[in-house]
Amino acid sequence: MKTRTPKWRRTSPVHYLLLATITFLSIFPFYWMFVVSSNTNAEISKSPPSLIPGGRFFIVAKKVLSAQGVYFNSALLNTFIVGTSIAVAQVLLSAIAGFAFAKLNFKGRKFFILFVVGTMMLPSQLGIIPLFMLVKNLHMIDSLFGLIVPALVTAFGVFWMRQIIDAQIPNELLEAASIDGASVPRIFWSIVMPIVRQSGFVLGLFAFLAAWNDYLWPTIVLQSPKHFTLQVALTQLKPMYGLDYGLQMGGAFLATAPLLILFIFVGRKLVSGVMDGAVKG
């Protein structure tokens, strides 16, 4: 991974300035959510607007949590349930299938994995109408199951785990275990899973984030406000209160804050996850 850096490469202050600018731009929208939601509309609308947080944040937060017809607390819980279920299921099912695709011999294995990867090229909108009809027939409309069940497995997850297991687990190790009499499920659970735990965790994180931030599918499946996820609940704050930016921004801030807190703990893992998956060369 590490390369020798050519001698001419020195860091100039301009580079740091650029990085600082990008950092500022990356953070600013979050800061701005807080500024707007803690100031009055008047303070935001004057020119130039107030750039420092005001004292209204908790009033606005309370308004968001008690807004009529909006169930922000249940939305938070719903989103958490959906995200966690999808993440856990995806990691487990992807690891099981990925293990088989990487290490087990069965007929048609190559064809299957090629086929699965090929489907990743298809845009997700293609199947969305029949998927809706299917979910409706399964009576999962307006229920969290309608979000969780179709997302339990992904082609991407299986492909990712297959690559990881292939790269991180030497065949000799599995041969040895099998000669010692370990069964395939046992090998999977006691040898494979502990080794790929970290990468599985990263996959789970991405699945969790994707589920947390998904909007198109939840807005199709969910109908009653009590079942909404955060993203759908957020959109409710808009038409009801017109141009009350404070309320919307307060909602956006409350819906984003849990992710930012999570990010403090897992940010570096996500970075290595993205970089490990990149196309090299």
Partner 1 sequence: MSQLKVKAGPSKAPLSPWKSAKPEKAKKAKPAKVISGVASLNGRWGFLFVAPFFFMFVIFGLAPVIYSVYISFFHWDPLGGSTFTGLRNFNLLLHDSDLWLAIRNTFSIWALSTFPQMIMAIGLASILRNSRLKAKSFWRTILLVPNITSVIAITIVFSQLFGRDFGIVNDILGFFGVHHHIDFIEGVIPSHIAIASMITWRWIGYNTLIFLASMLAIPGELYESASVDGASKRQQFWYVTLPSLKNTITFVLIVGTIGGLQVFAEPQQLAADGGSSKQFLTLTLFLYNQAFVNNKYGYAAAIGIIITFIVLIISLVNFVITRKISSDGSR
Q: Which 71-90 positions form the footprint of partner 1 (CB under 8 A)? A: 86
Please choose, out of 54-62, 70-78, 177-185, the segment that lies near partner 1 by the rule CB under 8 A. 177-185
Name the token pair of 23: 């950092």
177/192 Cα distance (integer angstroms):
11
Tokens of 14: 């301009």
> Min. distance of Cβ 174 from partner 1 in angstroms?
5
Q: What part of residues 223-242 is at the interface with partner 1 (CB under 8 A)? A: 230-231, 234-235, 238
CB of 74 to partner 1, least distance (A): 17
Among 61, 70, 87, 97, indicate the residue that binds partner 1 (CB under 8 A): 97
- Give the C-alpha distances (Å, rounded to integers) separating 45 from 1, 245, 247: 50, 10, 15
Q: Contacts with partner 1 in 242-281 (CB under 8 A)? A: 245, 248-249, 251-253, 255-256, 259-260, 262-263, 267-268, 270-271, 273-281
DSSP notation for 7-40: TT----HHHHHHHHHHHHHHHHHHHHHHHHHHS-
Q: Which x/- pattern, by CB under 8 A, does the window 128-157 give for partner 1?
A: xxxxxxx------------x-xxxxxxxxx
Core vs surface per residue 118-144: b (16+ CB within 10 A) or e: eeeeeeeeeeeeebbeebeeeebbbbb
Among 75, 160, 191, 227, binds partner 1 (CB under 8 A): 160
| Residue whose token pair is 């993203």 | 231
Q: Counting contacts by CB under 8 A, is residue 193 touching partner 1? A: no
